[in-house]
């Protein structure tokens, strides 16, 4: 399993940060590995929302279908994508902090089936991808590393 966790201190109020993070269409604004996001079910980032997220994956792009499986406004959410080859779980937690909040983004990526033996090799690549996304998230939220 590869895991990446980042925490961003933002001046945004909790509700604004939650609305932004729960609408996965915003991923393309801050994660340079995301090519595009299309919402296929639901409204914005509400419960039961489904998004097709196209990510850069080597020489070809890959589209993962993320489903919002937990939605606890304005505290947090969990979105999950499963394909034949991998499972991606992204949890967002929003914590009040003075006039703003702390946004915690916790992403886990697991290879499935016979590819699971290569999970350990995925960690360093996922760290590099995560570092670029974390920098974009800090910029998008007008925040700093917490």
3-state secondary structure of 14: helix
Q: Is residue 11 part of a domain?
A: yes
pLDDT in tens, 31-49: 999 999 999 999 888 999 9
Q: Is residue 36 part of a domain?
A: yes
Q: Rounded to two decimals, what is the model's pTM?
A: 0.91
- Angle formed at CA 40 by CA 39 and CA 41, multiple of 5 degrees: 100
Tell me, yes or no, whether 146 lies in a domain: no
Indicate whether 92 belongs to any domain.
yes
Q: Domain holding 55: CATH number?
A: 3.30.530.20
pLDDT value for 121 = 62
% the chain with pLDDT above 90: 74
- Which domain range does residue 50 map to? 2-141
Overall domain count for the chain: 1
Residue 61 domain flag: yes
pLDDT (tens digit per residue) in 111-141:
876 555 556 666 667 788 889 999 999 999 9
């Amino acid at each position: 399993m590869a895991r990446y966790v980042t925490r961003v201190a933002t001046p945004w109020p909790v509700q604004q940060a939650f609305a932004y993070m729960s609408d996965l269409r915003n991923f393309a604004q801050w994660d340079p590995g995301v090519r595009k996001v299309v919402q296929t079910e639901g409204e914005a980032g509400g419960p039961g929302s489904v998004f097709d997220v196209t990510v850069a994956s080597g020489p070809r792009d890959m589209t993962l279908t993320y489903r919002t499986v937990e939605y606890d406004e304005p505290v947090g959410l969990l979105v999950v994508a499963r394909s034949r080859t991998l499972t991606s779980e992204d949890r967002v937690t929003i914590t009040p902090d003075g006039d703003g909040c702390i946004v915690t983004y916790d992403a886990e990526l697991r290879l499935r089936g016979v590819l699971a033996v290569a999970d350990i090799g995925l960690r360093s690549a996922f760290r590099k991808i995560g570092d670029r996304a974390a920098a974009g998230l800090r910029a998008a939220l007008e925040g700093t590393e917490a």
